[in-house]
Amino acid sequence: MKILNISFILALCFFSPIKANEIYSSKKHSFTVETVVEGLENPWSVDFSPDGQIFVTERPGRLRLVENGELSEPIKGLPKIKAKGQGGLLDIAFDPDFKNNQTIYFSYSGADKTGIGTEVASAKLIDNELTEVKTLFRALPKSRGGHHFGSRLLINKEGHLYITLGDRGTKERAQEINDHAGSLIRINKDGTIPQENPFINNPAAKPEIYTYGNRNMQGIAAHPETGDVWTIEHGPQGGDELNLMQPGVNYGWPIITYGVNYVIGTKIGEGTEKEGMAQPVHYWVPSIAASSLMFYTGDKFPAWKGNAFVSSLVFGQLARLEMKNNKVINEERLLDGDFGRIREIQQGLDGLLYFISDDSRGKLYRLKPVK
């Protein structure tokens, strides 16, 4: 009798087929989930052009357009990308004035003789080809590892470009303000540095740094009413965090954390709090492996309006957060692993919710309300 590998059995359970037209119930809405497109290789980001086109990045180094349930050929013109470990082609964001300037921004892991690290570039997207590619930011120093690139992008109403970074797997770097690793970066859209940045007059600091003491921020969003910048930080074993970002603030990693070391579960740093270091607004123990963040502003799910959504890799969930006065007053978990590791959730121009599964055969899905 042939014995099946236990990991194979678990994988079959985790990625069990979804029934057609299955209705999912939540406390405030019922919805269905439909597949928009299949055949994506480790997709990392989904975004929507102002005219409604859907673009998806694949971590190995491809940018794709999704049309009528089909994937385009890879869009030409990307710079040289070093896909290693968690690195590759990562986030994408459209300029708010894209209709006039055709400009997009994207993050990726780039290499030189010293190693690899997060880089961010802008380009013109014309006839599905990138031109006038310009590197706006390079995280320095580069290193050899393949972990914790961060790399989510946000352009706020003031025209600042925020870039989340990870500690690159060397946690002590997050406490060094002369090192980009483990920080939130703020630059202008042309790559120059805002004069209001907190460390711009400190010769011992990297002037692009906006916050530091961050482990691996994989989600960022601006609150639709206040404009405040929020991030999701991927913790170790436990200790994922939702943070309200304030200039010059130290968020504590690795000196304080609600997580512990992987496998052995031993303590990290000095505890969970310390004077002069910010506390998270909300945290998860055990870790959900938080991978993206958004605030819902559409009309298709009116009872969810203003809620934050956080995607989860390890449990394959969507965490819906009800918030008031910068505090989480209720959390609900949706989906529970039915679609594998969820890498990102975004709101489409149609007011529906879209998410991508991080898998070698990844998919783009869409949530639709049941009336």
pLDDT tens, 231-245?
999 999 999 999 999
Alpha helix ranges (H) inside the chain: 6-14, 98-101
Q: Indicate yes or no: pTM above 0.75.
A: yes
Beta-bridge partners for 320? 309, 332
Beta-bridge partners for 240? 284
Rounded Cα distance, 320 and 231, in Å: 15
- By annotation, the residues acting in catalysis are 148
Pairing of strands 318-324, 308-312: antiparallel
172-203 residue pLDDT tens: 999 999 999 999 999 999 999 999 999 999 99
**104-112: average pLDDT:** 98
Rounded Cα distance, 215 and 238, in Å: 12
What pLDDT is stored for residue 371 in this prediction? 81
Phi and psi, residue 30, nearest 5°: -105, 150
Taking CA 59 as the corner, what is the angle to CA 132 and CA 54, rounded to the nearest 5 degrees? 65
- Of residues 21 and 350, which shows the higher confidence score? 350
Beta-sheet strand order (sheet of 217-222): 217-222, 229-233, 240-244, 282-284
Rounded Cα distance, 143 and 168, in Å: 8
Beta-bridge partners for 94? 104
Q: Residue 85, Cβ neighbours under 10 Å: how many? A: 14
Rounded Cα distance, 56 and 71, in Å: 9
What pLDDT is stored for residue 114 in this prediction? 96
Rounded Cα distance, 215 and 236, in Å: 9
Domain boundaries, the chain: 19-369
Rounded Cα distance, 252 and 118, in Å: 22
Rounded Cα distance, 226 and 229, in Å: 9
What pLDDT is stored for residue 79 in this prediction? 97
Rounded Cα distance, 135 and 80, in Å: 11
Q: In CATH, which of 3.40.50.300, 3.40.50.2000, 2.120.10.30, 3.30.565.60 is domain 19-369?
A: 2.120.10.30
Q: Is 106 helix (H, G, I), strand (E, B) or coil?
A: strand
5 has a pLDDT exceeding 80: no
Rounded Cα distance, 81 and 111, in Å: 7
279 has a pLDDT exceeding 60: yes
Rounded Cα distance, 198 and 305, in Å: 33
1 has a pLDDT exceeding 50: no
